[in-house]
Amino acid sequence: MLVTRERKASEAESLRRLGKRVMTDMLKNAFYGVLRHGGVYHVSRQKQKNRVLILTYHGVLKNGSDSYINRNCVSAEMFEQQMRWLKRHYTIMPLGDIVEALRRGEPLPEYTAAITFDDGFRNNFTVAYPILVRYNIPATIFLITDMTDQPGARLWTDHVDAIIFRANVRRLQLQMNGTLAEFDISSPQAKIQASDRIRGFLKTLNPQERDRHILSLERQIDREIDLLEDEESRERYEFLSWDEVRLMAEHQIEFGSHTRSHAIIAHLSPAELENELLVSKRRIEEQLGKPCRLFSYPNGTPRDFSIRDQKVLQQAGYTAAVSQIYGFNTYDTDFYALRRINIVRSPSFSYFLAKVTGVWGRLREWTRN
């Protein structure tokens, strides 16, 4: 009886939260729509015309639902709409060519942009690539080379999400810095909060410790996790093969390194750092028969890399590295901390426009101050 009442209360709570989220999304979309029709994006875009816009994508999905799990993916439909708009308004160049021009101080066209993808998911080939070809748009894909090397490999962050979202238990426990923390995972909203906190904590650990914690989570749930269990999951989580990489490399797609294992490099020892940066570079060069000069920091916030890491990148022969710091690039931007704009799932095209024209960043600054 008590359990039923408790469950009913938790279901009502999830519904209330869902309703609130839908309302917030509708308000947000309406707000960005008003800015669009007021011409705000047009003016902001003109202000950025002499700065280079670099976009970050992860996955592009034909079949993915509009869920938290797919938050870093865009739909094929939205991706095509975005590419069509970018092609009309920007000169889209390979990132490598932009970096060379910036480094030499050579002029770039007004409204220059580059398209990049992090992680090297297979959907970049099956879903995004045909659209890029249709619009004749070059792009850069940053590979996690251990994933490209092992068919069936999966990213640990995706695996942790799957443990939390597919489990039928209501609680999970995790040893965090000497204390046993308990996480409610009884509703979709609770799962989101637990996932954010657990992944955030695990990112601070070294790979061995992290895997030990993941194993302990796996032991607490009621089922085996096969991340690639159905077609929708395979489209979301599978990585590119070297055959697919080589094929795209002949047609306007360049490849850079995103480390070997997606390690957050600020936490690595000098030997581990060298291994992540040099082995991945060599692997890409062996497979493609040309130099690999671009790097993308896993996670990419200012906390995830240091001056030490930037020096090692430079010594290893990388000419530039992209971060996940929001912003545009000029000749004065640090070439080992280039700014990018991360495009996430959103039902509204106006939200995309707010991000790429710089309005989103301005609003964020105002609301922070």
Task: By CB under 5 A, name the binding residues for Zn ion.
Answer: 118-119, 298
Q: Is 358 left (phi over 0), alpha (psi -120 to 50) or beta?
A: left
């039923």: which residue's tokens?
4
Helix then strand then coil, % of the chain, to nearest 5: 55, 15, 30
**Whole-number minimum distance, CB 298 to Zn ion, in Å?**
5
Residues 6+ away with beta carbon under 8 Å from 120: 141, 142, 143, 144, 147, 148, 239, 240, 245, 258
Which residue number, 118 or 276, has a Cβ lying nearer to Zn ion? 118
Which residue number, 167 or 338, has a Cβ lying nearer to Zn ion? 338
**Whole-number minimum distance, CB 45 to Zn ion, in Å?**
28
**Whole-number minimum distance, CB 168 to Zn ion, in Å?**
29
Residue number closest to Zn ion, CB atom: 118
Whole-angstrom distance, CA of residue 318 vs CA of residue 310: 9
Helices (H), ranges, the chain: 2-37, 40-47, 76-89, 95-104, 123, 129-134, 145-149, 156-166, 188-202, 207-220, 231-237, 242-249, 270-274, 280-288, 307-316, 349-357, 359-368
286 within 8 A of 325, measured Cβ to Cβ: no
**Whole-number minimum distance, CB 72 to Zn ion, in Å?**
9
Which residue number, 298 or 358, has a Cβ lying nearer to Zn ion? 298
Which residue number, 190 or 337, has a Cβ lying nearer to Zn ion? 337
**Whole-number minimum distance, CB 79 to Zn ion, in Å?**
18
Which residue number, 120 or 358, has a Cβ lying nearer to Zn ion? 120
Which residue number, 256 or 358, has a Cβ lying nearer to Zn ion? 256
**Whole-number minimum distance, CB 199 to Zn ion, in Å?**
12
